[in-house]
Structure 1
Amino acid sequence: MFRVSGDAPDSVFSGNASASQPTRRLRVVRPSSARSAPPVDMAEAEEFLRLFHAENRESGSLQQRLDRMRYEVDTIGTYRHSQQELTFGAQVAWRNSARCIGRLYWRSLKVRDLRDVHTASGVAAHCVQHLRMATNNGKIRPVISVFPPETPQRPAPRIWNEQLVRYAGYQRPDGTVLGDPRYVRFTEAVLSFGWQPPLRRTAFDALPLVVETVDEGPHMFALPPEVIEEVPVTHPELPWFAELGLRWHAVPVISHMRLNIGGVPYPAAPFNGWYMGTEIGARNFGDSDRYNLVPLVAERLGLDTSREDTLWRDRALVELNRAVLHSYQQAGVTITDHHTESKRFLTHLAKEEAAGRKCPVDWSWIVPPMSGSQTPVFHRYYDEDHQRPNFYIDEDATHRALNGGPPRFA
């Protein structure tokens, strides 16, 4: 539902791993390729601080805050956000995310201030805590964990993975893939770095986290199995669906996007909402370059796949999506359907307009990937103006996530 990433358009734990020891460090994989940030654009910083004070009247003197910011930027090339500014900035970045249909809940985003965590093991530990907090016994909570910003003096920690939980893709000799084809190259890379997958490989083996810092370089960390809540996929009417052995993780924590607040970049700021069913059923399971399950489901349904005009793809896709929604509901894990969320998005749009704010929208992402014309978000035009603060696709992080190699600037 928190759809802003370059991933497929989409976004109860047990155990007692502590925040300091949640993962098993596997090994350093290669020298650091981190970089520092250029000086902060003072105009962008001023724009944000004026917005913050306009929407937070009790926050004190705007002029004093601007003077302090200008002094810091003149002195060290950047400035430090207060806790309140960080929280507001992260929430408004969600409010401004043109690709996300779930923005009605932007004020509910829990912001974790982790700007003093500089080690790879510390970042990985708090990513595990993020998963625990966000899952919340199945009642998914929107959470963002904000690690140190990039500054002119020091590169920031970076997370290579697109999401904290993603599944491996194993290339077979015959060219087919066991698992997620999107992550074949990343899987090959972490295997070469020393990652050991389960002895019995499956289509749903969680990949390790790769966290990079300027002092340590990239390190791999195995996520504790108890923090990866997964939902087995069954169907309300078709018993054979369970035989497919499908499952998916409960929380989509996007981890390869760069949060920018008032000109200050935060490259490591994993965040989550909860899933909209089509993100899993229509895209992760349905796309031909992902798990490509539509032909298999159509075959099990006994549909005529010899001609496209039988609409076998549409019929199979609907049952696949019904299975996903049914399974999450049965497991007590928060999920939403595309019809309900489309109506809620228009509620959000009306609230923003009533508040005198523009609501930027990328139509191609807001309209669901199935039955689009049956949802109210399909039948209107939107404001496309970019708003700040915001989240930005980090092309270097995406390159690492999909290729398992150093960023292109290295």
Structure 2
Amino acid sequence: MLWREAEAFYRLPELSHLPKARLAEVRRAIETDGSYQHTPDELLIGAKVAWRNHARCIGRMHWRSLRLLDFRHCRTAEEVAQACWEHLRQSTNKGQLRSVITIFAPRTAQGEIRILNPQLIRYAGYRQADGTVIGDPLHVEITELAQALGWNGTGGAFDVLPVIIQMPGDHPRAFDVPADALLEVPISHPELPGIAELGLKWHANPAVSNMGLEIGGISYTAAPFSGWYVGSEIGARNLSDTYRYDVLPDVAACMGLDTRHDRTLWKDRALVELTYAVLHSYRQAGVLIVDHHSAARQFLNHVDAEGQAGRPVPTQWSWVNPPLSASATPTYHRTYDAPDFGLRPNFVSQDTVLSCPVTGAVRAVEQ
């Protein structure tokens, strides 16, 4: 099985520059040791193709620009944490975000490295006695794990969670994100001052950290990667979803909207203005972000370019259309190649079990 997947990988046109002896070398390693190692060049190409293949990403036009930080040599949780901070510093780039992937050692018979946070920067969710949540309700379980590991936040709505790392055969450990690796943006609106008074903010860098990367039969279970946000991800989902921050009623109040009836479309109007506030705020702060209309056009440019190269573009339709004004974007009015989650190389979802000696184990919902 490993050999078949490895052979398919090395047959990719992107690796045609390798000497013919490389494939034979890989086969000998598999027959002798049961596995093989990618060179840094192979690793970067594999990660780029994985991005190109991933059916849920609208930003694939930029797949060739991906940068690699190769940290496969890390052997301790402390080393992994330091590498994560380096990832954040290089990818955030003082607001001019860059596409970066950091790859740690792959899964072996002895175990695997896991980063339990869904992203390197996420906000805590504090469950209250009455069942309500202060902060992000999506992250209540990982917040409770962080607390069980000794972390204590302020109890506020935007407390940055520590990054929780689990090394093979060890318990998870929590590491605070250093200030110089964190960039956040306060949310304001150029025409609605009340939105700034809500005290909203969001982090600049969407560094996904709980997905696996599979290249040529090798599973990299810790491979955080990041690009930049589409404004609607923040304004129309993270801050607006009823199971997240649920701020649309507050935004509507700032706008003086009638919220007694859905027919006033107060949710729609608040959603647009909040997303506009996000775009405005990020640009005011000098942080790269893209609006959903531009992202849609870029994706269709990518689809056209891939077609000219003779490659399909597996796409999950619901993931490349924005959560607001979808029918006003060009991605809405067409079909795509069916999503192929078995295509490799690719990024893959991984079950995340949050466990520690204090709390036992609970299955997380962040995927």
- Range class of TM-score, shorter chain: over 0.9
Superposed displacement of residue 105, structure 1: 0.4
SS of 2:11's equivalent?
helix
Provide TM-score, normalisation by structure 1: 0.85
Kindly provide the amino acid, as one letter, of the partner of residue 45 in structure 1. A
1:113–1:147: 8 Å Cα contact kept in structure 2? yes
SS of 1:405's equivalent?
strand
2:135–2:245: 8 Å Cα contact kept in structure 1? yes
The alpha-carbon distance between structure 1 residues 144 and 404, as it changes in their structure 2 partners (threshold 3 A), is farther
Show the counterpart of 2:79: 122
Residues 202-217 of structure 1 aligned to structure 2 (within 5 Å): 202-217=156-171
The alpha-carbon distance between structure 1 residues 96 and 132, as it changes in their structure 2 partners (threshold 3 A), is same
The separation in 2 between residues aligned to 1:171 and 1:102, in whole angstroms, is 34
2:316–2:339: 8 Å Cα contact kept in structure 1? no
The alpha-carbon distance between structure 1 residues 161 and 319, as it changes in their structure 2 partners (threshold 3 A), is same
Residue from 186, 190, 203 that aligns with 2:146: 190
The separation in 1 between residues aligned to 2:181 and 2:96, in whole angstroms, is 15
Once the two structures are superposed, what CA deviation does each residue of 1:202-240 show, in whole Å capped at 9, x if it has no partner? 100001111111254321111112321000000011111
The alpha-carbon distance between structure 1 residues 404 and 311, as it changes in their structure 2 partners (threshold 3 A), is farther
Show the counterpart of 1:158: 114
Of 250-259 and 178-187, deviating more is: 178-187
The separation in 2 between residues aligned to 1:140 and 1:395, in whole angstroms, is 28
Superposed displacement of residue 398, structure 1: 8.1
2:149–2:173: 8 Å Cα contact kept in structure 1? no
Residue from 1, 14, 31 that aligns with 1:55: 14
1:227 aligns with 2:188: no
Kindly provide the amino acid, as one letter, of the partner of residue 238 in structure 1. L
The separation in 1 between residues aligned to 2:353 and 2:62, in whole angstroms, is 27
The separation in 2 between residues aligned to 1:178 and 1:406, in whole angstroms, is 20
Q: Cα RMSD over matched residues?
A: 1.8
Kindly provide the amino acid, as one letter, of the partner of residue 14 in structure 2. E
The separation in 2 between residues aligned to 1:317 and 1:404, in whole angstroms, is 39
Of 342-351 and 74-83, deviating more is: 74-83
The separation in 2 between residues aligned to 1:269 and 1:160, in whole angstroms, is 12
Show the counterpart of 2:39: 82
The separation in 2 between residues aligned to 1:205 and 1:321, in whole angstroms, is 22
The separation in 2 between residues aligned to 1:404 and 1:122, in whole angstroms, is 26
Superposed displacement of residue 174, structure 1: 2.4
1:379 aligns with 2:340: no
1:229–1:250: 8 Å Cα contact kept in structure 2? yes
What percent of counterpart residues are identical? 50
2:55–2:339: 8 Å Cα contact kept in structure 1? no
Structure 2 gap segments, 5+ residues each: none
Paired positions, count: 360
Residue from 66, 87, 93 that aligns with 1:136: 93
The separation in 1 between residues aligned to 2:353 and 2:347, in whole angstroms, is 13
Residues 6-45 of structure 1 aligned to structure 2 (within 5 Å): 41-45=2-6
Superposed displacement of residue 407, structure 1: 6.5
Once the two structures are superposed, what CA deviation does each residue of 1:307-354 show, in whole Å capped at 9, x if it has no partner? 111111100100110100000000000000000010000000011111
The separation in 1 between residues aligned to 2:315 and 2:323, in whole angstroms, is 16
The separation in 2 between residues aligned to 1:227 and 1:190, in whole angstroms, is 19
